[in-house]
């Protein structure tokens, strides 16, 4: 038989237990946003999210594709973003909720991609074309 030391301890324990369970399972719970994954490798196509959780980030931040592959650039935030590879002719502007497919016809190499609107806040990543 369990012996309780204090009703307050028991109450806090129950609140933590049921509070966590109801937040995780409730219909109206807000999903948590995990940190952007660091790398995605693809053959064919990959999705690149702009602004998950309204953070000024891309997810994933590092992509590896083959020449000719398609990247689906999806703005999941409440503000506009770009997917830009400077001086390579790639400059896509996505409004909130908008998705654009970008075919990568760049020669093999490593390229930095940025959001022109938020690069000063660190919104950038690396694309490796094989």
**25 vs 113, higher pLDDT:** 113
Task: Give 29's pLDDT tier (boundaries 50, 70, 90).
Answer: very low
The confidence score (pLDDT) of residue 52 equals 98
**28 vs 47, higher pLDDT:** 47
Question: For the chain, what is the HEC assignment?
Answer: CCCCCCHHHHHHHHHHHHHHHHHHHCCCCCCCCCCCCCEEECCCEEEEEECHHHCCCEECCEEEECCCCEEEEEECCCCCEEEEECCCCEEEEECCCCEEEEECCCCCEEEEEECCCCHHHCCEEEEEEC
**58 vs 41, higher pLDDT:** 58
The confidence score (pLDDT) of residue 89 equals 94
pLDDT surpassing 80 at residue 102: yes
Query: 111, 126 in Cβ contact below 8 A?
Result: yes
Task: Give 22's pLDDT tier (boundaries 50, 70, 90).
Answer: very low
Task: Give 61's pLDDT tier (boundaries 50, 70, 90).
Answer: very high
Residues 128 and 111: their CA atoms lie apart, in Å, by: 6
């Amino acid at each position: 038989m369990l012996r309780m030391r204090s009703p307050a301890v028991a109450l806090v324990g129950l609140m933590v237990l049921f509070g966590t369970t109801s937040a995780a399972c409730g219909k109206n719970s807000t999903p948590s946003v995990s940190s952007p994954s660091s790398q995605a490798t693809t053959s064919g196509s990959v999705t690149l999210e702009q602004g998950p959780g309204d953070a000024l980030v891309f997810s994933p931040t590092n992509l590896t594709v083959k020449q000719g592959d398609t990247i689906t650039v999806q703005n999941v935030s409440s503000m506009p973003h770009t997917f830009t590879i400077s001086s390579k002719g790639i400059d896509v502007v996505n409004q909130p909720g908008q998705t654009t497919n970008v075919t990568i016809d760049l020669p093999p190499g490593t390229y930095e991609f940025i959001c022109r609107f938020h690069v000063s806040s660190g919104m950038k990543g690396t694309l490796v074309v094989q």
